[in-house]
Homo-oligomer: A and B are copies of this chain.
Amino acid sequence: MKPTAHLLGVDWGTSNLRVMRIADGGRVLDSRSDPRGAGGLTPDQFHDVLRDVAGDWLNEGLPVLVSGMAGARGRWREMAYLPCPAGVADLAGAIASPDDAPGVRLVPGVAAFEDDRLQDVMRGEETQVLGLDLQDDAVVVGPGTHSKWIRTAQGRITGFRTFMTGELFAAIRKGTILGGGMGEPGVDDDAFAAGVARALKDPAVTAALFSVRVEGLAGRLSPASAADYLSGLLIGAEVAAQLDTRERPILLIGAEPLCARYASALAQADFHDVRISDGAAATALGLWRIHEAVSR
């Protein structure tokens, strides 16, 4: 017997959209992706895009729950950032609908404060984290454009920190002399490890970056391997700033090759308990859990 969908879950990122038919329990039955991310849409376009991508699924009459950047300022409807600690019940208690789509509900973001000052923000990762099966005091690491290190306790998000690793990597390749003649990353694990080692030894990132050039001049780094070294430097800087989480269980979520790179950098820095988890499944399960908490 074919399982029935109970929820239409939407993960609306800045540059990508993913719609999922979700079964009872949070399993994904079908999913579709579309490049119309929230970053390029005005408030009045969201409903049309969603109907365009998944009109047939909307017609099934399922409840709809949306996480991510659709709730950012200037997008479908601005949703608040809930302060940490934040768990499933907190998010469920703060969902709201856009004016033009009362049947659609948006998940709020989460904010980290320090002495009552806003310190950091996330939209989308909170849903993903709450869809993981978290060990006690686990730290969830989501590599990418804006990497996030998210601390949890008793199944709630207690604090987090954003590193602009992926975006800096791209901007440095494109906009500085270091990018000249640089190959693609992912070809030289030793160069990556050398970059990580350098970053772990040297906290001054803006100085360490110049070593990409010096290593090249010294004949120790070929242009083909330079992107891996640079990637190691930036990921290593992230790891170096989070060494105080070394004794905690680390859960990596994201694209597989990048997670593997992070796992290798974490091993280099003597992190012992590191696992890689399926990010898409976690998002679906997070949406399901929030949906269930709302319905209850």
Contacts and interface: CB of A to CB of B under 8 A. Distances in A.
Interface stretch (A98-106, A202-210, A275-283): A202-210
Nearest to A117: B218
B168 A172 contact: yes
Interface stretch (A5-13, A159-167, A247-255): A159-167
Most B CB contacts (10 A, CB to CB) among A121, A170, A175 go to A175
Contact of A207 (B121, B162, B209): B162
Contacts of A178: 164
Interface string A153-188: 000000001111101101110111110000000000
A165 B209 CA distance: 10
A1 interface: no
A174 B172 CA distance: 10
Given A168-B172, A172-B168, A175-B170, A205 B206 contact: yes
A193 interface: no
B210 A120 contact: yes
Contacts of A210: 120, 146, 162-164
A167 B168 CA distance: 12
Contact of A204 (B121, B146, B163, B176): B163
A206 B121 contact: no
A89 interface: no
B175 A171 contact: yes
A225 B241 CA distance: 27
A117 B177 CA distance: 22
Contacts of A214: 118-121
A237 interface: yes
Contacts of A120: 210, 214
B241 A203 contact: yes
B165 A206 contact: yes
9 contacts: A118-B214, A118-B217, A164-B178, A164-B206, A165-B206, A168-B172, A168-B176, A171-B171, A171-B174
